Amino acid sequence: MLTDYHNHLERGTLTLDYLKQFTDQANAKKIDHFGISEHAYHFYQTKDILSNPWVNERRYYDMEDYIKLFQQAWDAHIDVKMSIEMDYTPGKHDEMAQFIKSYDFDYVIGSIHWIDDFGIDLGEYKHEWERRNLQETYTKYFDQVVTLAESNLFDIIGHIDLVKIFNYIPTDEEFLLAQYERATTALANSKTCVEVSTAGLRKQVGKLYPDPRLLEMCYKKAIPIVLSSDAHVPTDVGKDFDKAIELARSVGYSSIMTFEKGKRKEVPLG
């Protein structure tokens, strides 16, 4: 069994024809559970959750149109899961919970892209990495991983160590492992699964998410996983899944989690 739960239509259109390019690719890759998880900040309905100049310029969707697209797909017997990728926003738990409860998502991904006003994975903010204390940035990032897990709002945490995207990685291994330890402890006490994502292979860091040591901690603490490509174009659906499966198996995983309308089921991997 294979999943690809983290994918985006934002570079194209919210149309059935464009969506079908993704689902066709998923079918060709023999992906059993495929979902679209558009960025929540694109939608007018999230303006009270995350708002800053970068995000506000990119808020141009309405959830009504998004839901209609999935209904069209299901009416056409296209098997696609409806999801959202929310930027976890400290201090906005009530607002995030209300948004999530308002829609019949199959699952919800929570991700961390912002540390205060610092967009950690955005090229426009890359210069900030040289201006900031690396350990402090990592500490603040993993603070959010912990509180994201503790919120229990999300089914999946997206690219759990996205903070390494530009290859700024602390050399102090003890410090880094301490961040992994507290993050996985919080996740083990939550409903949140971890995605093994191939997206990092297409980024500057050139590595899978998560780091093998982090994923091994997840396995030892019985945290379930899913597979994801974080595709923003159809050709990236299921890309490099052989490497994701190899990593998952190398630390001990033999199963993955699947989702449908909030219900979860663990199934064999591969």
Secondary-structure breakdown of the chain: helix, strand, coil percentages, each rounded to the nearest 5:
45, 20, 35
The two beta strands, 156-157 and 107-111, are parallel
Q: Please compute the mean of the pLDDT values over residues 112-133 and round it to a whole number.
A: 97
Q: Where are the beta strands (DSSP E) in 181-242?
A: 193-197, 225-228
What pTM was computed for the model?
0.98
Residue 233 has a CB neighbour count (10 Å cut-off) of: 15
Q: DSSP secondary structure string, 20-40?
A: HHHHHHHHHTT-SEEEEEEEG
Q: Please compute the mean of the pLDDT values over residues 253-260 and round it to a whole number.
A: 97
Say if residues 260 and 52 touch (Cβ distance below 8 Å): no
Q: What is the pLDDT of residue 156?
A: 98
pLDDT digits (tens, 9 = 90+) for 220-245: 999 999 999 999 999 999 999 999 99
**Residue 24: which of 264, 237, 175 has the closest Cα?**
237
Q: Compute the distance between CA of residue 146 and CA of residue 230 in angstroms, rounded to an integer.
A: 22
Q: What is the pLDDT of residue 262?
A: 80
Q: What is the pLDDT of residue 191?
A: 97
**Residue 254 burial (10 A CB sphere; 0-12, 13-18, 19+):** exposed
**Residue 205: which of 240, 176, 169, 166 has the closest Cα?**
166
Q: Please compute the mean of the pLDDT values over residues 7-21 and round it to a whole number.
A: 98
**Residue 116: which of 176, 50, 209 has the closest Cα?**
50
Q: Compute the distance between CA of residue 204 and CA of residue 216 in angstroms, rounded to an integer.
A: 23
Q: Please compute the mean of the pLDDT values over residues 202-210 and round it to a whole number.
A: 98
Q: What is the pLDDT of residue 270?
A: 84
Say if residues 205 and 166 touch (Cβ distance below 8 Å): yes
Residue in this structure with the two tokens 């201006």, named with its chain if needed: 131
Confidence of residue 83 (pLDDT cuts 50, 70, 90): very high
Q: Is 73 helix (H, G, I), strand (E, B) or coil?
A: helix
Q: DSSP secondary structure string, 94-159?
A: HHHHHHHHTS--SEEEEE--EETTEETT-GGGTTHHHHS-HHHHHHHHHHHHHHHHHHT--SEESS
pLDDT digits (tens, 9 = 90+) for 179-205: 999 999 999 999 999 999 999 999 999
Backbone angles phi, psi at 14, to 5 degrees: -85, 65
Say if residues 114 and 87 touch (Cβ distance below 8 Å): yes
Mean pLDDT of the chain: 98
Find how far residue 40's CA is from the centre of its chain. Answer: 12
Give the DSSP letter of residue 84.
E
Res. 170: pLDDT tops 90: yes
Q: Please compute the mean of the pLDDT values over residues 5-9 and round it to a whole number.
A: 98
